[in-house]
Amino acid sequence: MIEQNTFTIIFGVFLLLTCRDMFFGHPGSNADVSKPDSIVHDHHSHHHSGISDSVIERPDLARGLHSMPTIKIQFCHSCGYRQAFEEISKMLQATFPQIKVEGEYHQPGWIRMQIVNLLFITKFAVLAMIFMDINPFNYLQMNTPRIWTHMTQSKISTSLIIFFISNSIETNMMSTGAFEILYNDYPIWSKIETGRIPSGAELIQIVSNNNKLSGLDVGPGFKA
């Protein structure tokens, strides 16, 4: 009885944590404006030239002269990039006060998402059968493997192993390594392509160039 109660508590905690990560992991879009923080440089940083020029050559970036731009940052939620997003968001809003900065998690491809969803469902189906002493091999008219018997006899240790292994696989599948920056929904920086997060000076220059292209007199330090 004590073992079942302990298992139920552990099962419930892992279920809540997993559901939180799967469905409630989106950060708020409007970060608080504060004095500029230093930008976090990626450890795999290398020089990437031509970003500003490639942006200037796209006249379709301009949305109009009467609307303020929006910068959207899509980042990998399992790569530890949330802090970098928050620092860059503060820097951008301190440098360009009237520009709106939004953030969201960068989702992997459709196939990866389906694999993660299937693994998520399978994990809880297996745990439910173990906890409720349901032997699926009897319904399939198959001999019960020894490993299944051992799993049903050691519910707590088995459930922990299943959670740790499956969550590790899910995290790896959800990892995209992305830190994509969009100006009015048009990409102006991609970590997937460049292999690094932009420096503060690079990003300010790129945003300034796009502001000029859009016909907006919103430069660094501009105050309404």
In this structure, the answer to whether residues 95 and 184 fall within a common structural domain is yes
Which residue, 142, 145, 126, 124, is CA-closest to 134?
126
> How many CB atoms are located within 10 Å of the residue 204 CB?
20
Among 62-76, 87-101, 147-161, name the one with the lowest average pLDDT: 62-76
* Residue with the larger pLDDT of the pair 21 and 28: 21
Instruction: Give the model confidence (pLDDT) of 123-144 as tens digits.
Output: 999 999 999 999 999 988 999 9
13 lies in a domain? no
User: In this structure, what token pair is assigned to residue 205?
Assistant: 């220059």
Count up the domains in the chain and report the number. 2
42 lies in a domain? no
Query: What amino acid is encoded at 33 in this protein?
Result: V
Average pLDDT over residues 204-219: 82
pLDDT at position 80 is 87
- pTM for this prediction: 0.58
Q: CATH number, domain at 199? A: 3.40.30.10
pLDDT at position 68 is 78
pLDDT at position 78 is 82
pLDDT category, 10, cuts 50, 70, 90? low
In this structure, the answer to whether residues 181 and 103 fall within a common structural domain is yes
Query: Residue for token digits 């860059």?
Result: 88
Domain region containing 194: 69-107+177-216
Instruction: Give the model confidence (pLDDT) of 23-74 as tens digits.
Output: 444 333 333 333 333 333 333 333 333 343 434 344 444 444 446 789 999 9
In this structure, the answer to whether residues 103 and 182 fall within a common structural domain is yes
> What is the residue-averaged pLDDT of the chain?
76
In this structure, the answer to whether residues 156 and 185 fall within a common structural domain is no
36 lies in a domain? no
